[in-house]
């Protein structure tokens, strides 16, 4: 029986990955180690919390003792745990450096001590920085432009160095922007859908011409599994949905789908160091047999429908800590 340690499994992508793996494989045990920061939410996994193959442990990936006690009993590690929001990293980078770099170091050291069959370090397209034209390939130069992206680049390359130096069987998926159910409502898709549902303004940074390549979260989970199973040790794999949209196009798409007035959109001060465009060449992961199974339109429709039907999930999150952060972050009164 395969035993996996999934870190950050109470967050957005990690929770989808755990659900996906448990539904696909019978002979699997998953331990979810999550600190439960503001972004960690056990309600994301309510449907599987009683599954005997699943164990949740609250803890920090920077905690060497906790990590070692778990790593000695697993075959595979998937590190999803991270501080993940660019805007928060601009305001206060401290926790990004701790979790996204030092936390990776603690996990790698434990892997070196106890041995693992696979170490999957979840990275991001943001490590490349911005590209005006063309597509980034896996061996292109990394030019991260936010403290978030730089800390992720640190974790990504640290994992690689443990492959080169100590032979740790590392693989590194770098995916584009994910969207789907259970995404903390601070990221553009979940924030804008939930704001629109409440007839609140949708704050577009700058001129709205920044481009992101949208990937449905379940397609990402399938790609991560393929990379874990078939990826070559020490290698990076880009994962992109092939759905480039400007933020303005995305915003208007959401408003139209919800039959809401287009004047809910409002232009606000630009993000500092705002990357103009992310775009990935995905030939390498496609050569492993992956392709996205969802169209942008169908996946977005499913996502919007989910937020419409699950107010219980996001209404609580948009009060308390979120409201404080939101008021501080947006100088404009939206």
Q: Which of 29, 83, 100, 125 is catalytic?
A: 125
> Smallest Cα–Cα separation from 41: which of 9, 83, 16?
9
Q: Which of 29, 126, 225, 275 is catalytic?
A: 126
Q: Which of 128, 148, 237, 307 is catalytic?
A: 148
CA–chain centroid gap for 112, Å, is 25
Q: Please confirm, yes or no, whether 126 is among the known catalytic residues.
A: yes
Residue 178 interacting with ligand NAD (CB under 6 A): yes
Q: In angstroms, what CA-CA distances link 182 with 14, 66, 173? A: 10, 27, 21
Residue 185 interacting with ligand TDX (CB under 6 A): no
Q: Where are the alpha helices (DSSP H) in the chain?
A: 12-24, 64-71, 86-91, 94-97, 103-114, 147-166, 188-197, 217-230, 247-257, 283-287, 296-309, 311-317, 321-329
Residue 124 interacting with ligand NAD (CB under 6 A): yes
Neighbours of 130 (CB within 10 A): 17
Stretch that binds ligand NAD, among 171-179, 192-200, 263-271, 292-300 (CB under 6 A): 171-179
Residue 247 interacting with ligand TDX (CB under 6 A): yes
Residue 203 interacting with ligand TDX (CB under 6 A): yes
Residue 212 interacting with ligand TDX (CB under 6 A): yes
Residue 318 interacting with ligand TDX (CB under 6 A): no
**Rounded CA separation 147/96 (Å):** 7
Residue 85 interacting with ligand TDX (CB under 6 A): yes
The helices-and-strands tally (H runs, E runs) of the chain is 13, 13
Residue 169 interacting with ligand TDX (CB under 6 A): no
**Rounded CA separation 16/229 (Å):** 18
Which of 131, 170, 204, 299 contacts ligand TDX by CB under 6 A?
Answer: 204
Which of 81, 104, 170, 191 contacts ligand TDX by CB under 6 A?
Answer: 191
| Residue with tokens 């898709």, as numbered in its chain | 189
Looking at the annotation, which residues are catalytic?
Answer: 125-126, 148
Residues forming contacts to ligand TDX in the complex (CB under 6 A) are 84-86, 124, 126, 177, 187-188, 191, 203-205, 210, 212, 247, 271
């Amino acid at each position: 029986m395969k035993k996996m340690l999934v870190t950050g499994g109470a967050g957005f992508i990690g929770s989808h990955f755990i659900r996906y793996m448990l539904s696909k494989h019978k002979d699997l045990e998953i331990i979810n180690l999550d600190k439960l920061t503001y972004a960690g939410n056990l309600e994301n996994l309510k449907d599987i919390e009683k599954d005997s193959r699943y164990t949740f442990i609250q803890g920090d990936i920077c905690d060497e003792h906790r990590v070692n006690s778990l790593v000695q009993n697993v075959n595979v590690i998937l590190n999803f745990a991270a501080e993940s929001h660019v805007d928060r990293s601009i305001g206060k980078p401290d926790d990004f450096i701790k979790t996204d770099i030092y936390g990776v170091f603690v996990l790698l050291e434990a892997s070196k001590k106890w041995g693992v069959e696979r170490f999957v370090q979840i990275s991001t397209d943001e490590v490349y920085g911005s590209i005006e034209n063309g597509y980034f390939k896996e061996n292109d130069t990394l030019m991260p432009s936010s403290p978030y992206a730089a800390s992720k680049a640190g974790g990504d390359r640290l994992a690689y160095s443990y492959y080169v130096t100590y032979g740790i069987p590392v693989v590194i998926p770098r995916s584009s922007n994910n969207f789907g159910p259970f995404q903390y409502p601070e990221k553009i898709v979940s924030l804008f859908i939930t704001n629109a549902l409440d007839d609140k303004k949708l704050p577009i940074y700058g001129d709205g011409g920044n481009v992101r390549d949208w990937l449905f979260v379940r397609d990402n989970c399938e790609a991560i599994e393929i990379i874990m199973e078939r990826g070559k040790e020490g290698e990076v794999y880009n994962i992109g949905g092939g759905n480039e949209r400007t933020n303005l196009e995305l915003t208007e798409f959401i408003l139209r789908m919800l039959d809401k007035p287009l004047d809910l959109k409002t232009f606000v001060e630009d993000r500092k160091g705002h990357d103009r465009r992310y775009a990935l060449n995905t030939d390498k992961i496609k050569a492993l047999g992956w392709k996205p199974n969802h169209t942008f339109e169908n996946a977005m429709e499913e996502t919007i429908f989910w937020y419409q039907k699950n107010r219980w999930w996001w209404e609580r999150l948009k009060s308390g800590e979120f409201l404080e952060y939101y008021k501080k972050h947006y100088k404009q009164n939206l």
